[in-house]
Amino acid sequence: MLSACGGGQFLESGETVTVEQLFPEGLPVAEVCPRVDVRRGTQEYPVYARGRDGDRAALVFQGAIQDTVRECTFSGNTVTVDVGVAGRILIGPEGVGGVNTNLPVRFVVVRDDQSPTWSELRSIPITAAAGQRSVPFNHIERGIPIALEPGETFADYRLLVGFDTQTDG
């Protein structure tokens, strides 16, 4: 009776095998795709009529990031990440005539110590016709590079996304 297989050979019932026998060159290292988070405080992006910041009656629109995804391609000590971000803008009282704008979304790679290793700002075009109350948006940032330093793992990194309000002005 066969009970297990290892290295392409069958083992007899009751026969045991050690990890070293199965993997003489060491256990395969699990590749961990760095996680992606929305940076705290950057998940919403309200835009008001000029000179009326904070006045709810003057809200043109408010953007909101609702979801993120990532996909990794590993090659030695490097990973290339594609990050997707999706959300919606909600049209406010001052935007009912239509909105044609760009949403400033920043993508950042950080080490566990929070030091950034890569950063890009993207301008996501969005249009809402007169009378629309909300419009979805999405963007995929492709080819984000992460190269490991000696002693690091991909789990030592994470990706942050969020609206970059510092671009206003």
pLDDT of residue 169: 41
- Are residue 37 and residue 60 in the same domain, yes or no? yes
- Are residue 112 and residue 123 in the same domain, yes or no? yes
The per-residue pLDDT for range 130-153, each reduced to its tens digit, is 999 999 999 999 999 999 888 888
Q: How far apart are CA 35 and CA 37, in angstroms?
A: 7
- Are residue 95 and residue 117 in the same domain, yes or no? yes
- Are residue 101 and residue 40 in the same domain, yes or no? yes
DSSP letters, 26-61, are -PPPPP-PPEEEEPTT-SEEEEESTT-TT-GGGEEE
Which residue, 46, 45, 72, 77, is CA-closest to 59?
A: 46
- Are residue 94 and residue 133 in the same domain, yes or no? yes
Mapped onto helix, strand or coil, the DSSP state of residue 152 is: coil
- Are residue 82 and residue 159 in the same domain, yes or no? yes
pLDDT > 80? residue 127 = yes
What letter represents residue 25's amino acid?
A: E
Give the strand pairing for 35-38 and 157-163: parallel
The per-residue pLDDT for range 34-44, each reduced to its tens digit, is 999 999 999 99
- Are residue 66 and residue 134 in the same domain, yes or no? yes
Domain with 76 in it: 32-167
- Are residue 22 and residue 104 in the same domain, yes or no? no
- Are residue 10 and residue 53 in the same domain, yes or no? no
Mean pLDDT of 72-78: 88
Q: Domain containing 104 — which CATH number?
A: 2.60.40
- Are residue 159 and residue 104 in the same domain, yes or no? yes
| DSSP β-bridge partners for residue 126 | 101
pLDDT of residue 2: 34
pLDDT of residue 48: 96
Distance of CA 161 to the CA centre of its chain: 6
- Are residue 36 and residue 82 in the same domain, yes or no? yes
Q: Kind and range of the H or E element at 169? A: none
The per-residue pLDDT for range 85-122, each reduced to its tens digit, is 999 999 999 998 999 999 999 999 999 878 899 999 99
Give residue 11's pLDDT band: very low, low, confident or very high (50, 70, 90): low
- Are residue 4 and residue 68 in the same domain, yes or no? no
For 132, how many CA atoms within 13 A lie in the half-sphere containing its CB? Answer: 15
DSSP letters, 81-149, are EEEEEEEEEEE-GGGTT-EEEEEEEEEEEEETT--EEEEEEEEEEEEE-TT--EEEEEEEEEEEEEEPP
pLDDT of residue 4: 46
If one counts the domains in the chain, the total is: 2
